[in-house]
Amino acid sequence: MMAQTSTVARGGGNSSAPARRRSHRPPRRPSGLPNWAVPYVLLVPGLLVIAILLLYPLYQMVDMSFHKVGLRQIRPNPQPAEFLGMQNYSDVFSSDLFWTSLRNTVVFAVVTVALTLILGTLVGLLLNKLGRKMSTFLVVGIMAAWATPPTATAIIWKWLFDSDAGVVNWALNLLPDGLSTLVFGRSDWSGQPWLNAPSTIYVVLVIAVVWASFPFIAVSVLAGLKSIPSELYEAARVDGSTPAATFRKITFPLLKPVFSVLLVLSIIWDFKVFTQLYVLAGGTTNREAFNLSLWAYTEAFSAPPKMGFGAAIAVILTVIMLVITAVYVRQIVRTEADVR
Amino acid sequence: MNPRSVKWLKASGLNAAAVVVFLFAVFPVYWMVATAFKPNDEIFTTRFIPFPLAPTMDHVSRVLTKGVAGHSIWQYLFNSAVVALGTVLIGAVFALLAATAVSRFRFRFRTSFLILLLIVQMVPAEALLIPLFLMVKRLGLYDQLLGLIIVNVGFTLPFAIWMLRTFVAAVPKELEEAAAIDGAGRFITFWRVLFPLVAPGLVATSIFSFITAWNELVFALTLINDQGTYTMPVALQFFTSQRSTDWGGIMAASTLMTIPVIVFFLLVQRRMVSGLVAGAVKG
Amino acid sequence: MKFGKIAATTATTAVLAIGVAACGGDSEPAKTDAPAASAAASGPKFAGQTLTVWRLGAPNDVQTKYMTDLDAKFKEQTGAEVNVQWIPWPDAQKKWTAALAGGEGPDVTEFGNDQVAAWVAQDALADITEITKSAPDFQQIPQNLWGYETIDGKIYAAPWGGGTRAVLYRKDWFDELGIQAPKTWDELVAAGKKIVEKKGKDVDGFAFNGGSDANMSLSPFVWSAGGDFAAFEGGKWVGKLTEPGFKEGFQFYTDLVAKDGVSGKGRLSQNSVDISQRFAAGKVGMYVTGGWDIATIKEQSKGKVGEDKMAFFSLPNKEGSGPAPAFQGGNDIAIWKDAKNPELAAEYLKLAAGKEFGTRYAKDGGLLPLYPDALAEYASDPVQAPFAETFKVAKGFPASPNWAEANDTKAVLQNAARAVIEGKKNVDTALADANTELETILNQQ
């Protein structure tokens, strides 16, 4: 089946540049396609999907952010959208909501990314060490956490932190009064509201998001661990290396590419967290609890829809993420070392 | 202490840690399932009720027999399954091809492509809703599951490529070169050598794509117009009416919705192991 | 299609035709010939066409029956089929937005009446002024109920079912504690305090609503104190939040939590749905809501809080000289601007919101009928009487297309109330800030 696919791909490559193909053809390769063309052919399907479904809409989003766009401007036979230049952007920056949303976004992302990665890695290592049965047992457990629909889990977290019927206040009340006072400075947790003030909403949000995202990190780390040749560990054991040293010298360096991917992806996801916040904050009424995505959504989709303004917030959010991940992006540009 | 009891202690320590993590992971899920079996007065209470005091099948049987908004629950589950599996299959093939390209070859625009993959993931999906909606309509895929599949492939592909490329890169190139010297063609090499070794990574990304597509709501709601083509996440929305929410129904339906994902995972997990074994034999 | 031809005949053959349709007369072409010929003359002009109708929510059996009957009648009149699509309430906004952008919308759709202005501003709804004038049924709907639907003198939707608010209370608690239905604000607070005292600290005597629909709970207080949110003066919206009447009502409303403690501080963002759930759990004594909550609460409490334990009273004004004006809500039916066949859509609108089906829509959906004689029947129903009474003095929010943004998107007053209750601002500052913001929102183009 794979061979047939290759034939088709080869045909495509031929017709595009028959002359150059011959000159570049490496003698050692028996299977047609010139080396230089192979990666492009491999990329075509994916690139096509991305270009049509993401790049073009992305371009439109950026374009919108410079215009005053309501529904009249995007429906069939649209009215022309008024060009605003940077007006939407300056409105965003001069809004009070921008700074609180930005603060909420960044603080949340930093805390959550750190906790998710640490917990996920530890669980990944644990899975690798556990016996077969226990490992399957745990994997099924964390998969359940990951698989549960986010809307349902957000509601459940809301219940667990309910001020009256929530299990969290109930459990905190079970703590010995002395201990509770020592740690939290209070012993009575009855009726403690978690979902009023932004600070406690975000405490709950961190827990909910870490809970939902550590399984993915754990499974990825596990997959990474499984692809490390066991000979390396054998050798380390023979050398009498301590577990910590083994992790530092073998596991971490070999998993570094996986880790950096997970880091960047976690940053991206946690900057954009939406569904859980929407549910925990009770919709769009608690403005102090907005993050940038919830704010952009609110502007673009609540009546009256200000799509240009919402798009500007989304662009700013994207740029902030780009800046934060720039170190990593620059590393790709500079080294190009991934090709082996 | 003799070495055996040290080993035993260590193992039981690890197992204890596993149980703690398990409980943390499962507790909210347990709460969902428990709620699905609680009668209404135990759901709408301000008391803390750890498990159903008077378990009832009301919610589950209502969801199973009456369905949601006039359609059988199986209809929605079937639609969701088509979307999720379609996304996984198309996405896996496209991602593997592209991942191989970026991690095995140097070519012009390679770096640009990688950066592009990152940037497109940074854009909040909600902000792309309208442009994407118009695009799907232009492609003639409005109100079709295929349109939803394509959109989900679009959203999961950058991630899948990005993730898979590290797995491809981790496969020693020497293996492929050895195969090439043995006279194997490029695509035979790809299929026999690279694929088995990348399989665990492919499984991890497939699970991710599956879950993302399975739970996707916003596009499933807007790109589909005919109720018979709605997916499960949209069906869940029907439990919330203008003035009240049927929590028991939501939790029962969510539980039903979670089961297939866990089944899917159990199926591919075995593949992950066999992929590993195959890779080890070849290697 | 065949049904259409049969059905769209004269009234005498209609009964037979429905019978045929119900029996699955699809396979009886022989019978269709004669009526079809005569039907062509009497005008089944829409035979073979299909009208797409969007309704909101998941239908229950009563609503399914209603739509079946309505659509059968429609087919009888026009010969056209109806394709009903049910849209889930949450995210309905997104569905309409996408529909408008893509030109794939419905022909006729259900709406919340407070959303009409916002959608008219987006040019989403067709002008139905002429249609309403030509329909005799619509003339019977009182003028004050067309407020939300009339924009710049043109009508864009027909009211379908009304909703106003009153105070739902625990009748059994009132009897047990010897409380009378409050006639003044002081009595209201006293009743609330007594409930909290006797029923426990975690019980809300009078539940504070600070969520998405907070303004329908706040507005009776400010309106009866003589205040209002904003007024359209000299070509622009002027905020009225800092005026004494508004301040008095607002102060009273926030004091329910901050000073009187008749509602818990832990639940500042609860909306009426959240409160009704707590009510079902026996944790609320009184709150502002609509008549539909009785059925919901009975179901949620599994009958523990049944009809015999609940009743409504109209919220009094401060001194007790009568009911406070309550928020007038409800659902509308409108014709989508992009409707493929506006003429057919108009026929549907006239039928659905006409006296027969309009009244049934309201009754089946737990709303107030808009036709005066149907409403009059409600005055003798003890549960509905307070609503029938307040419906007469019901008021709407500022009829600006931007009101929705101030009301729940930006939640101007909810945030002001939260700031006051949490002690971050005093009432004057909070209202001054809110007023500035309200004016900005209402006056934006």
Closest chain A C-alpha to B204 CA, distance in angstroms: 6
Please judge whether C88 and B238 are an interchain contact, meaning their C-beta atoms are less than 8 angstroms apart: yes
**Confidence grade of residue B44 (pLDDT, cut at 50, 70, 90):** confident
- Three-state SS string over C268-285 comes to CCCCHHHHHHHHHCCCEE
Cα C281 to Cα C269: distance, rounded to the nearest angstrom: 18
List, as ranges, residues 41-60 from C with C-beta within 8 Å of B. 56-59
pLDDT of residue A133: 85
Query: For the residues A217-242, what does the mean pLDDT come to?
Result: 83
Arithmetic mean of pLDDT over chain A: 81
- pLDDT of B268: 77
| Domain A67-74+82-335 superfamily per CATH | MetI-like (1.10.3720.10)
Using the Cβ of A195 and the Cβ atoms of chain B, whether some distance falls under 8 Å is answered with no
Q: Looking at the predicted structure, is the pLDDT value of residue C28 above 70?
A: no
Subunits in contact with chain C (3 or more CB pairs closer than 8 Å): A, B
Facing B46 at nearest CB: one of C57, C98, C278: C278
- Who has greater pLDDT, B5 or A112? A112
Distance, in Å, from the CA atom of A227 to the CA atom of B221, rounded to the nearest integer, reads 40
Residue A45 pLDDT: 93
What integer pLDDT is reported at residue B18 of this predicted model? 93
- Check if the beta carbon of residue A159 is closer than 8 Å to that of residue A169: no
Residue C9 has pLDDT above 50, yes or no: no
Q: Which of A27-31, A122-126, B165-169, C337-341 has the lowest mean pLDDT?
A: A27-31
Count helices and strands in chain C by DSSP H and E runs: 21, 13
Q: Which residues contact A150 (CB under 8 A, 6 or more apart)?
A: A212, A275, A276, B215
Each residue's pLDDT tens digit, C96-122: 888 888 888 899 999 888 888 888 888
Q: For C263-289, what is the mean pLDDT?
A: 87
Minimum-distance CB partner of C301 among B44, B69, B221: B44
Which H or E run includes C61?
helix C61-78
Q: Is residue B60 helix, strand or coil? A: helix
Identify which of C118, C271, C418 has the shortest CB distance to residue A303: C118
Q: How confident is the model at residue B1 (pLDDT cuts 50, 70, 90)?
A: low
Residue A60 near residue B131 (C-beta atoms within 8 A): yes
C interface test, pick of A75, A195, A295 with most C CB neighbours within 10 Å = A75
Q: What is the pLDDT of residue C248?
A: 95
| A300 touches B at CB < 8 Å | yes
Q: What are phi and psi of C84, to 5 degrees?
A: -90, 125
Q: Where are the domains of chain B?
A: 1-56, 69-282
Can you tell me which residue has the tokens 């019927």? A165
Asked if the C-beta of C293 comes within 8 angstroms of chain B's C-beta atoms, the answer is yes
Quick one: pLDDT band at residue A333, thresholds 50, 70, 90?
low
Better-scored residue on pLDDT, C384 or B81 = B81
Q: What is the three-class DSSP state of C50?
A: strand
Q: How many residues does chain C have?
A: 445
Taking the Cβ of residue B67 and every Cβ of chain C, the question of whether any pair is shorter than 8 Å is answered with no
Question: Do C155 and C132 contact (CB within 8 A), yes or no?
Answer: yes
A71/C266 Cβ within 8 A = no
Taking only the tens place, the pLDDT of each residue in C57-110 is 888 788 889 999 999 999 999 999 999 988 888 778 888 888 888 888 899 999
Taking contacts as CB-CB distances below 8 angstroms, the residues of chain A near C100 are 71, 75
Element (H, E) at C204: strand C204-206
Q: Which CATH superfamily is domain B69-282 in?
A: MetI-like (1.10.3720.10)
DSSP 3-state of C104: coil
Contact (Cβ atoms closer than 8 angstroms) between residue B79 and residue B229? yes
Residue C325 pLDDT greater than 70, yes or no: yes
Q: CB pairs below 8 Å between A and C: how many?
A: 103
Q: In the predicted model, is pLDDT for residue C407 greater than 50?
A: yes
pLDDT band for position A149 (cuts 50, 70, 90): confident
| C205 pLDDT above the threshold of 90 | yes
Over 80: is that where the pLDDT of C130 sits? yes
- pLDDT at residue B279, as a whole number: 42
What is the per-residue pLDDT for A334?
66
- Cα–Cα dist C300/B44, whole Å: 6
- Cα–Cα distance, C352 to C160 (Å, whole number): 8
Residues of C within 8 A of B226 (CB-CB) are: 85
Contact status of C83 with chain A (Cβ, < 8 Å): no
d(CA C291, CA C300): 15
User: Under an 8 A CB cutoff, do B18 and A49 touch?
Assistant: no
- Determine how β-strand C230-233 pairs with β-strand C236-239: antiparallel
Give the pLDDT confidence score for residue C38 in this predicted structure. 40
Residue A337 pLDDT greater than 60, yes or no: no
Half-sphere exposure of A49 (CA within 13 A, CB side): 25
Express as a percent the part of chain C with pLDDT over 90: 42
Nearest to A147 by CA among B207, B269, B125: B207
**Are B48 and A170 within 8 A, CB to CB?**
yes
Q: Does residue A29 or residue C422 have the better pLDDT?
A: C422
C101 touches chain A (CB under 8 A): yes
Domain ranges for chain A: 67-74+82-335
Stretch A147-170: mean pLDDT = 83
Give the A-side interface with C, CB within 8 Å: 70-72, 74-76, 163-165, 190-193, 195-197, 281-288, 298, 301-305
Mean pLDDT for all residues in chain B: 85
- Name which of A33, A42, A327 to mutate to probe chain B: the one with the most chain B Cβ atoms within 10 A of its Cβ: A42
Q: Is B240 on the interface with C (CB under 8 A)?
A: yes
B71 bridge partner residues: B68
Q: Is the pLDDT of residue A5 over 80?
A: no
Using a pLDDT cut of 70, give the percent of chain A over it: 87
Mean pLDDT of C42-55: 82
CA torsion, ordered B19, B24, B26, B32, to nearest 10 deg: 150
Indicate the pairing of strand C81-87 with strand C50-56: parallel
C122 interfaces chain B, CB cutoff of 8 Å: no
User: Sorting pLDDT into bands at 50, 70 and 90, what band is A230?
Assistant: confident
Place of tokens 């990665």: A117
Name the burial class of residue A328, with classes exposed (0-12), middle (13-18) and buried (19+) by CB atoms within 10 angstroms of its CB.
middle
Reported as half-sphere exposure (CB side, CA atoms, 13 A), residue A33 has a value of: 22
Q: Which residues contact C100 (CB under 8 A, 6 or more apart)?
A: A71, A75, C122, C124, C338
Considering A10-19, A298-307, C256-265, the range whose residues carry the highest mean pLDDT is C256-265
Dist. CA A50–CA C164, nearest whole Å: 50
Q: Which of A10, A43, A323 to mutate to test the interface with B (most CBs of B within 10 A)?
A: A43
Instruction: Look at B262 and A130 and tell me if their CB atoms are within 8 Å.
Output: no
* Residue A68, CA distances (Å) to A63, A84, A316 in order: 10, 6, 17
Chain A contacts in chain C segment 319-348 (CB below 8 A): 338
Residue among A71, A286, A303 whose CB faces C409 most closely: A303
Q: What is the C-alpha to C-alpha distance for residues A207 and C218, in angstroms, rounded to an integer?
A: 34
Q: What is the pLDDT of residue C191?
A: 95
What pLDDT shows up at residue B79?
96
Shortest distance, CA A191 to any CA of chain C (angstroms): 7
In this prediction, residue C15 carries a pLDDT of: 32
pLDDT at C13: 32
pLDDT of residue A12: 33
- The band of C430, judged by pLDDT with boundaries at 50, 70 and 90, is very high
Determine the Cα–Cα distance for residues A75 and C337; give it in Å rounded to an integer: 11
Q: What is the pLDDT of residues C138-174, one digit of tens each?
A: 999 888 788 888 888 899 999 999 888 899 999 999 9
pLDDT at A313 over 70: yes
Whether the per-residue pLDDT at B171 is higher than 80: the answer is no
Rounded CA separation C172/B46 (Å): 19
Q: Are C124 and C291 in contact (CB under 8 A)?
A: no
Name chain B contacts of C90, Cβ cutoff 8 Å: 237, 240
Q: Which residue has the higher pLDDT, C441 or C43?
A: C441
pLDDT 10s digits, A275-294:
888 888 877 777 888 999 99
Domains (range + CATH), chain C: 45-164+330-379 (3.40.190.10), 166-326+410-443 (3.40.190.10)
* Nearest-neighbour CA in chain C from A312: distance (Å): 18
pLDDT reported for residue B49: 83
Q: What is the DSSP letter of C180?
A: P
- pLDDT over 50 (residue B85): yes
Residues of chain C with C-beta less than 8 angstroms from the C-beta of A195 = 269
C202 near B CB under 8 A: yes
